[in-house]
């Protein structure tokens, strides 16, 4: 269970464009990503030509444009070259719909874009090559009306009967208040997978649960106590985040982003602000960047402590749950005293941060870290020698490295199954680009691995906060905002506590938001639960689910 570290991949310097280079040759010659050269050559052999972007940019990613007919071929070649599928989103551009997909390899991000006729939009599906694209494409269909040909599953995903089948909320002609019926029809006809045979039975769980968690439906097929299949049905807390973002100011969007998923308010607001700052071409002050990272690491620590306690509680070890809850509560009270909010909401604003850290606060944080490390050390010693806890966690809910890689899972879920990617190290942004970020990795992929990776990430976060406090030089908390030009766009990429958060922003006129898309890590991680529980017993579902702990709200935009 050793911690692994690595260095940022280096990028060769881009050369100056030659005036007579063709679109494809220009991109092949001047891309900053070395791995792109064989990839683009393979695309060219398949007849896929990529167009350069003279006047457009999508920092920090590279942007490529292709023809709609090549959409599926692009994904096929990308899969062959082991690019990781990150996200996809669409936007209404009047007579055309713009569709973008983001890929990553070796810490480099590449966005490929195409368009479809708004009257009859259709594209080849990327889901046959990337399982992660499955639900995202279904969401794009429900919200924009794009039909993905060759998609393995054409069932509705987001709509849940809340608006007519022929209406699409992210079209510009759809009013934000919609036209809701007096009573929304019950979503009772969803065709779950069924099976017949001696001893096979169904177990419906949710969407309303016995606790205080958000709604989600889980349909089990089982024989005895052994799970044969699990199918998820999410989307019950669809809030219209993407639609209500339209027309907001940067300040208002930052507040909205902080409410995409309440337990990740720092991660999502930082991603949104980073995307807007990239679009505006501004760089925040170093002191503000350091405070943002301190906020993010405090959020990581609080949530990991809550999850560790909940995992223990789901197998009957209540003592550990009580102790982790106590430590988390004291940590949240410190958040309130230091920043004015237990969950650190609205602390990150466009161009910087809201609250400074005076010397007294720095000393307070240093004392609390010393105290937390001591308390956690004593607690995990008790946990580590508890054989009954070990029996319930080890070899339970295994997600193999191969399956994790195929699904493209991120964060602690991926790192518990051998996937070491961490934005803070592999695609570092300020202030992490000046820090040595160690990334704990476990290969076993079981619930125990997901428990211990969380613990190791807490220890890493404590060390990072200490290092960040040492780098807290005097300086401004915010910088002057520069109004982006209409059409300016930017990408935000932040390592939240659940993993990689992506945010896309496009500005319209008058400093107003035209398009906002936040991709929570849960969108990639939720499908893994259907694999984790296979061949396990039904009573182990709660602990398997908690060890993944996907956000319903972060998924149900």
Q: Would 330 be classed as within a structural domain?
A: yes
Q: Would 181 be classed as within a structural domain?
A: no
Q: What is the number of domains present in the chain?
A: 2
Domain limit, last residue, from 100, 129, 149: 149
Q: What is the mean pLDDT of residues 218-238?
A: 94
| pLDDT tens, position by position, 513-525 | 999 999 999 999 9
pLDDT over 60 (residue 338): yes
**Same domain membership, residue 136 and residue 252:** no
User: Within 10 Å of residue 246's Cβ, how many Cβ atoms?
Assistant: 17
CA dist 233 to 49, 68, 401, Å?
38, 30, 25
Q: Would 214 be classed as within a structural domain?
A: no
Q: Would 249 be classed as within a structural domain?
A: yes
Average model confidence (pLDDT) across the chain? 90
Tell me, what CATH number does 320's domain have? 1.10.645.10
**Same domain membership, residue 250 and residue 138:** no
Q: Would 38 be classed as within a structural domain?
A: yes
pLDDT over 60 (residue 53): no
pLDDT over 80 (residue 59): yes
**Same domain membership, residue 529 and residue 418:** yes
**Same domain membership, residue 526 and residue 378:** yes
Confidence of residue 22 (pLDDT cuts 50, 70, 90): very low
**Same domain membership, residue 131 and residue 253:** no
pLDDT over 50 (residue 2): no
| pLDDT tens, position by position, 283-321 | 999 999 999 999 999 999 999 999 999 999 999 999 999
* E strands present in 217-287: 217-223, 226-233
Closest CA to 187 of 236, 135, 221, 230: 236
| Apex 262 CA angle, 260 and 265, nearest 5 | 75
With b for 16 or more beta-carbon neighbours within 10 A and e for fewer, the 459-469 pattern comes to: bbbbbbbebbb
**CA count, 13 A, side-chain hemisphere, 531:** 20
**Would you state the pLDDT for residue 184?**
80
Q: DSSP 3-state helix, strand, coil percentages of the chain (rounded to 5)?
A: 40, 20, 40
pLDDT over 90 (residue 35): no
Find the range with the poorest average confidence among 50-54, 189-193, 508-512, 542-546.
50-54
Q: What is the mean pLDDT of residues 347-370?
A: 96
pLDDT over 90 (residue 16): no
**Same domain membership, residue 306 and residue 434:** yes
pLDDT over 70 (residue 500): yes
* Six token digits for residue 206: 């949710």
| pLDDT tens, position by position, 165-212 | 888 999 999 988 877 778 888 888 889 999 888 899 999 998 988 777
pLDDT over 90 (residue 58): no
| Crossing angle of the two packed helices 36-45 and 23-30, in degrees rounded to 10 | 160
DSSP 449-496: HHHHHHHHHHHHHHHHHHHHHHT--S--SB----PPPTT-EEEEEEE-
pLDDT over 70 (residue 24): no
**Same domain membership, residue 446 and residue 335:** yes
**Same domain membership, residue 342 and residue 477:** yes
**Same domain membership, residue 443 and residue 331:** yes
User: Within 10 Å of residue 389's Cβ, how many Cβ atoms?
Assistant: 20
Confidence of residue 527 (pLDDT cuts 50, 70, 90): very high
Q: Would 205 be classed as within a structural domain?
A: no
**Same domain membership, residue 391 and residue 251:** yes
* Six token digits for residue 115: 């368009």
For residue 360, give every residue at least 6 positions away whose Cβ sits within 8 Å of its Cβ, in sequence order, or none: none
**Would you state the pLDDT for residue 52?**
59
| pLDDT tens, position by position, 377-393 | 999 999 999 999 999 99
Range of the domain at 114: 3-149
Output the CA torsion sign for 469, 473, 477, 482.
Answer: negative
Task: Give 349's strand partners.
Answer: 352
User: Within 10 Å of residue 341's Cβ, how many Cβ atoms?
Assistant: 16
Domain limit, last residue, from 149, 178, 196: 149
Confidence of residue 28 (pLDDT cuts 50, 70, 90): very low
User: For residues 140 and 146, what is the distance between their CA atoms, to the nearest angstrom?
Assistant: 7
**Same domain membership, residue 122 and residue 266:** no
Confidence of residue 32 (pLDDT cuts 50, 70, 90): low
Domain limit, last residue, from 149, 179, 195: 149
Q: Would 40 be classed as within a structural domain?
A: yes
Tell me, what CATH number does 38's domain have? 3.30.460.80
pTM, two decimal places: 0.91
115 close to 131: Cβ distance less than 8 angstroms? no
* Six token digits for residue 546: 């908690």
Query: Is the pLDDT higher at 119 or at 177?
Result: 119
Q: Would 511 be classed as within a structural domain?
A: yes
159 close to 178: Cβ distance less than 8 angstroms? no
User: For residues 334 and 55, what is the distance between their CA atoms, to the nearest angstrom?
Assistant: 47
Of the chain, the percentage scoring pLDDT greater than 90 comes to 79
pLDDT over 60 (residue 12): no
Bridge-based pairing state of the strands 500-507 and 513-519: antiparallel
119 close to 97: Cβ distance less than 8 angstroms? no
């Amino acid at each position: 269970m050793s911690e692994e570290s690595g260095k940022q991949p280096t990028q060769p310097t881009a050369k100056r464009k030659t005036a007579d280079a063709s679109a494809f040759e220009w991109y092949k010659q001047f891309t900053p990503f070395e791995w792109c050269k064989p990839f683009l050559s393979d695309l060219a052999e398949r007849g896929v030509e990529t167009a350069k972007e003279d006047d457009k940019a999508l920092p920090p990613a590279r942007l490529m444009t292709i023809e709609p007919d090549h959409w599926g071929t692009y994904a096929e070649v990308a899969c062959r070259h082991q690019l990781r599928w990150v996200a996809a989103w669409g936007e209404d551009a009047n007579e055309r719909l713009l569709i973008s997909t983001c890929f990553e390899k070796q810490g480099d991000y590449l966005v490929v874009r195409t368009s479809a006729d708004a009257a009859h939009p259709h594209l080849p599906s990327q889901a046959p090559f990337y399982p992660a694209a499955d639900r995202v494409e279904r969401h794009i269909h429900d919200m924009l009306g794009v039909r993905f040909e060759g998609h393995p599953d054409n069932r509705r995903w987001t709509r849940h009967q809340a608006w007519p089948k022929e209406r699409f909320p992210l079209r510009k002609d759809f009013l934000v208040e919609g036209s809701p019926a007096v009573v929304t029809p019950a979503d009772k006809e969803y065709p779950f997978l069924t099976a017949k045979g001696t001893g096979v039975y169904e177990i419906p769980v949710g969407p309303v649960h016995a606790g205080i968690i958000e709604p989600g439906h889980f349909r089990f097929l089982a024989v005895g106590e052994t799970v044969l299949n699990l199918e998820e049905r999410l989307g019950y807390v669809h809030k219209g985040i993407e639609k209500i973002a339209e027309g907001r100011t940067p300040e208002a969007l930052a507040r909205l982003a902080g409410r995409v998923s309440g337990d990740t308010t720092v991660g999502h607001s930082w991603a949104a602000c980073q995307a807007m700052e990239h679009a505006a071409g501004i760089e925040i002050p170093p002191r503000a960047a350091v405070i943002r990272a301190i906020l993010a690491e405090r959020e990581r620590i609080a949530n990991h402590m809550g999850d560790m306690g909940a995992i223990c509680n789901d197998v009957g070890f209540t003592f550990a749950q009580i102790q982790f809850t106590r430590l988390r509560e004291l940590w949240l009270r410190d958040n309130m005293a230091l920043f004015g909010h237990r969950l650190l909401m609205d602390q990150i604003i466009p161009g910087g941060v809201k609250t400074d850290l005076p010397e007294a606060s720095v000393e307070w944080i240093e004392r609390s870290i010393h105290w937390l490390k001591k308390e956690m050390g004593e607690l995990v010693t008790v946990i580590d020698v508890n054989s009954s806890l070990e029996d319930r966690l080890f070899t339970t809910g295994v997600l193999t490295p191969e399956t994790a890689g195929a699904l493209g899972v991120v964060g602690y879920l991926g790192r518990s199954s051998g996937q070491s990617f961490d934005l803070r190290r592999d695609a570092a942004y300020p202030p992490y680009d000046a820090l040595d970020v160690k990334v704990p990795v476990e290969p076993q992929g079981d619930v125990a691995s997901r428990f211990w990776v969380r613990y190791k990430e807490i220890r890493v976060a404590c060390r990072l906060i200490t290092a960040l406090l040492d780098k807290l030089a005097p300086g401004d908390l915010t910088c002057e905002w520069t109004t982006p030009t209409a059409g300016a766009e930017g990408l935000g990429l932040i390592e939240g506590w659940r993993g990689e958060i992506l945010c896309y922003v496009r500005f319209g006129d008058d400093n107003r938001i035209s398009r906002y898309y936040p991709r929570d890590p849960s969108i990639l991680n939720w499908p893994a639960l259907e694999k984790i529980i296979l061949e396990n017993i039904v009573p182990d579902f709660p602990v398997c689910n908690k060890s993944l702990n996907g956000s319903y709200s972060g998924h149900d935009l």
